[in-house]
Amino acid sequence: MQFIYLSLALLLALLLAFFLGNLHERFVLGYLGLSVITYYAYALDKSRSKRGTWRIQESTLHLLSLLGGWPGAAFAQQYLRHKCSKKSFQITYWGTVIANLALFVGLIYYIKVK
């Protein structure tokens, strides 16, 4: 459940920064859009797993998280119960979350300083 709280906190922070004029709407729309795409990718992978057909590569799921879709991944892991118990996947997933947040903060700082 901590995934959901962290994801909601980020999305609320994004919206707050946007409404305060500190963040361009492209960032908010980017996170929301990538989150929806990532959630769909997890749902598709789970469906394919149940049917025993071709799966979405874990590296693709991680790339989507790294690019900003990790809130959608958190929701998918929680609600679909997909990829939430595989330890090696979770370690890499949290690495993508940390990397994405670090890049985001760095970018915001760069924009503010510039």
Query: Which pLDDT tens digit goes with each residue over 32-70?
Result: 899 999 999 999 999 998 898 999 999 999 999 999 999
- How far apart CA 71 and CA 69 sit, in angstroms, is 6
Q: Is the pTM higher than 0.75?
A: yes
- Determine how many CB atoms are found less than 10 A away from the CB of residue 11: 15
Q: Looking at residue 69, what is its pLDDT?
A: 93
* Longest Cα–Cα distance in the chain: 51
Best CA proximity match to 112, nearest among 43, 50, 20: 20
Angle formed at CA 30 by CA 24 and CA 35, multiple of 5 degrees: 140
Confidence of residue 108 (pLDDT cuts 50, 70, 90): confident
Higher pLDDT, residue 11 or 50: 50
Q: How confident is the model at residue 1 (pLDDT cuts 50, 70, 90)?
A: low
